[in-house]
Amino acid sequence: MTNSLANHMQSTEPHWWIAFVAALLVALAAYRLRALTMDGMVAATLVGGSIVAAAGWWPGVVLVSYVITASALSLYRSQASASVPQVRGKQRDAVQVLANGGIPAALAVVSVFTDSPGPWLVALTASIAGAASDTWGTELGRFSGSRPRLVTTWKPAAAGTSGAISPIGTASSLAGAIAIGLVAGIGYAFGWDVPGITAGGLIAIIALAGFCGSLLDSLLGATVQAGFRCPACDVLTEHRVHACGTPTVRVKGWTWLNNDAVNMLAIAGSATIGLVAATI
């Protein structure tokens, strides 16, 4: 049984419908645990199913390890610090799922249609590492004792401000990227076929590309990401309409470049670094 499971994990092309059923079951569990909204569940099924159907089981395992750690850290933080203001809800919707998972899914599909899938599989895993790095840094950074500082001007900022970093948050970002690299490395050791790269090279590139992506996320968050102010409550927010219902006024960045778009750009950055490094 274990042996046949191992053999099955090694085959890179599970039947596509098995991939989507497996993704649906994981997404359904996440929905039941209130980690996903209903439309988030549909998006997660499409993302997870595409990745496993196109790239195999191990990228799926990497994806699930990101989702589980991100949800667990989010839950841990919200329980441990009820007083800390929450910028976003715990349940991820379709837009958030696609902002984090759209690029990995697209890379998985590309890897099917290329003669040298190795670098694309590295880019796929690196992009998941970028998402994990950002999430670990954001969630655990809120436990920082000192006030975070803006990555650009080094001025102290309120906890949870986009583009503000702390030593704990930065170390957590690095840990998140390394964790994803290690999961990919375990997959490699168990026979996940990534042509043209060693296990050590795979882990190092994924960790580095993932961490660089989260740094890019902070940089974009501090500069071009839209920031708004609620005129009624006089607080800064990332939303065009404040939680109190008042339309907000833009105080920085580009109006269309919200947190989800910045996440997606940072993940694209991780993917690009992974692709280039694996090609070289």
Site residues (vs Zn ion, CB under 5 A): 230, 232-233, 242, 244, 246
Cα(125)–Cα(196) distance, integer angstroms: 15
**118 or 160: CB nearest Zn ion:** 160
Q: Is 149 helix (H, G, I), strand (E, B) or coil?
A: strand
Least Å from the CB of residue 275 to Zn ion: 42
**33 or 233: CB nearest Zn ion:** 233
Least Å from the CB of residue 247 to Zn ion: 9
**50 or 259: CB nearest Zn ion:** 259
**112 or 233: CB nearest Zn ion:** 233
Cα(186)–Cα(172) distance, integer angstroms: 21
Q: Which of 23, 138, 34 is nearest to 91 (CA)?
A: 34
**25 or 244: CB nearest Zn ion:** 244
**Cα separations (Å) of 27 from 9, 73, 264, 269?**
20, 18, 21, 26
Q: Is 197 helix (H, G, I), strand (E, B) or coil?
A: coil
Cα(277)–Cα(239) distance, integer angstroms: 36
Residues in the chain: 280
Least Å from the CB of residue 236 to Zn ion: 11
Least Å from the CB of residue 244 to Zn ion: 3
Least Å from the CB of residue 229 to Zn ion: 9
